[in-house]
Amino acid sequence: MTTIDRRGLLGAGAALLAAPLASPALAQPRWPARPVQMLCPWAAGGGTDAVLRIAATLLERELGQPFNVVNRTGGSGVVGHTAIAQASPDGYTLGIITSEICMLHWQGLTEVTYKNFTPLGQLNNDPPGIQVNASSAYQNVQQLADAIKASPAGKFKASGTGQGGIWHLALASWLGAMGLKADHVRWVPSNGAAPAMQDLAAGGLDFTTCSVPEARAMLDAGRARSLAVMAPERLSAFANIPTLKETMGIDVTAGAMRIIAGPANLPAAVKAAMEPALKKVFDSKEYQDFMNARGFGLVYADGAGAGQALATADASLGDAMKAAGLAKT
């Protein structure tokens, strides 16, 4: 991956043009003095891409330099995450990392873990929900849980994402918390949340564990109901959905996180500039409006807090993957 250094140079040419505009404010070399490249491990047009793009636009306003989003896709996120971790730590190549970074290494797909990054700020967290078909007999999550416990293993079918994906692990954690084995409910791998929600509406599944925003259109259409959300507290955009904790006393908190990060050993100046800027971005009306419109969970944490969240997620996802037999190590 020597390519990364070259990529850093890419910005340099553009910086020559931009420098005269920015220079009056510079007493000493400060960051950012030239455009910053923001890598996105997921494809353009997806949720992570959208979050990063709006954040980059607002960062540009805060810090006065262009933040260019570049999608480095491939390898189920491995390629992009690796590119961020192995970028030269000068602060001019940053990116967005997602919960998958706490899963890929357990599956033996990469050596890169969350420790190879400098987290700068968490911008979003979407907890899993539990959705059933609108005509399902289960009116609340307790009824569903009782039915699952009473059924033979493999009778209930659930979906939400691919095998070993974040929502599969959420199911495994929930079952584990109920004292059941991870494969007590059969996981039907799907190509993302949307096909799973469609199959739920078509009557092919018993429930899904994707996030509530992903299920939103079907909920609005009256084709599905959300019984619970696996989060410490109710979601602001979906205040009528109870948490798993208040209904069953089970504390399962997994979720899809989106965190702005750079490679390890970022200079202090970068952290000092980025963390407050990200906080301002998060608090801005544009960002709040955007996230609310998409129904994405507004969860903020500074660099240290995001690092904490990553460490927690890494441990709990690792446990869930071992329980489900998905971990290689």
Partner 1 sequence: MQLSDRVTGGVLVILGGLAAWSGSRLPAVPGQDVGPAAFPMLIGSGLVICGALIALGIGRSFEVPEEDATEAAAPRFHGLRALIPPALLLFYMLASEPLGFLLTAAIIVLIGAVALGARLTLAVPLALAAPALVHLAFYKLLRVPLPDGVLPAPW
Partner 2 sequence: MNELLEAVRLVAAPDVVIAIIASAIYGLVVGSLPGLSATMATALLVPVTFWLSPIAAIATIITASAMAIFSGDIPGCLLRIPGTPASAAYTDEAYAMTRKGQPEVALGAGLWFSAIGGIVGTLSLVLMAPLLAEMALSFSTFEYFWLAFLGLMCATLVARSSPIKAIASMLLGLLIACIGMENPAGTPRFTFGLTDLLGGIEPIPALVGVFAVSEVMRAMVTAEPPKLPHRKFGSILAGQWKLTKTYQWPMWRGNFIGVIIGVLPGAGADMAAWVSYAMSKKFSKTPELFGTGHPEGLVEAGASNNASLASGWVPSLLFGIPGDTITAIAIGVLYMKGLNPGPTLFTENARSMYALYLIFIIANIIMIPLGIVMIRIASKVLRAPRASIMPVILLLCAVGAYATGNNLFSVLLVGLFGILGFVMDRNGYPVAALVLGIVMGTMVEQNFITSLIKSDGDVMPFFERPVSAVLAAMTIGALLWPLGVWIWNRTGGRRLPAQGAAE
String of DSSP letters for 196-217: HHHHHHTT--SEE-SBHHHHHH
End-to-end Cα spacing for the chain: 25
Nearer to partner 2, 40 or 227 (CB): 40
Nearest to 228 by CA among 241, 211, 209: 241
Of the candidate spans 14-22, 244-252, 256-264, 286-294, the one that interacts with partner 2 by CB under 8 A turns out to be 286-294
Burial class of residue 325 in the structure, from the number of CB atoms within 10 Å of its CB (0-12 exposed, 13-18 middle, 19+ buried): exposed
> Which does residue 216 touch among partner 2, partner 1, none (CB within 5 to 8 A, set by kind)?
partner 2
- Interface with partner 1 in residues 292-311 (CB under 8 A): none
Nearer to partner 1, 35 or 303 (CB): 35
**CA–CA distance, 198 with 210 (Å, rounded to integer):** 12
String of DSSP letters for 104-124: TTTTTS-S--GGGEEEEEEEE
Burial class of residue 179 in the structure, from the number of CB atoms within 10 Å of its CB (0-12 exposed, 13-18 middle, 19+ buried): exposed
**CA–CA distance, 140 with 112 (Å, rounded to integer):** 40
**Residue 234 Cβ vs partner 2, minimum distance, rounded to whole Å:** 20
Is residue 71 a contact point for partner 2 (CB under 8 A)?
Answer: yes
**CA–CA distance, 154 with 18 (Å, rounded to integer):** 61
**Residue 44 Cβ vs partner 2, minimum distance, rounded to whole Å:** 4
Q: Return the number of other C-beta atoms located less than 10 Å from residue 102's C-beta.
A: 26
Is residue 237 a contact point for partner 1 (CB under 8 A)?
Answer: no
Q: Which one of 114, 174, 282, 290 is in contact with partner 2 (CB under 8 A)?
A: 290
Is residue 126 a contact point for partner 2 (CB under 8 A)?
Answer: no
Nearest to 35 by CA among 85, 80, 91: 91
- Interface with partner 1 in residues 63-122 (CB under 8 A): 68, 70
Q: Which one of 19, 153, 202, 315 is in contact with partner 2 (CB under 8 A)?
A: 202
Sites of contact with partner 1 (CB under 8 A): 2-3, 6-7, 9-10, 12-13, 37, 68, 70, 163, 182-183, 186-187, 324-326
Sites of contact with partner 2 (CB under 8 A): 3, 43-47, 49-50, 53-54, 57, 69-76, 78-79, 82, 107, 109-110, 154, 157, 159, 162-165, 186, 188-191, 194-195, 197-199, 201-205, 216-218, 220-223, 290, 293-295, 326
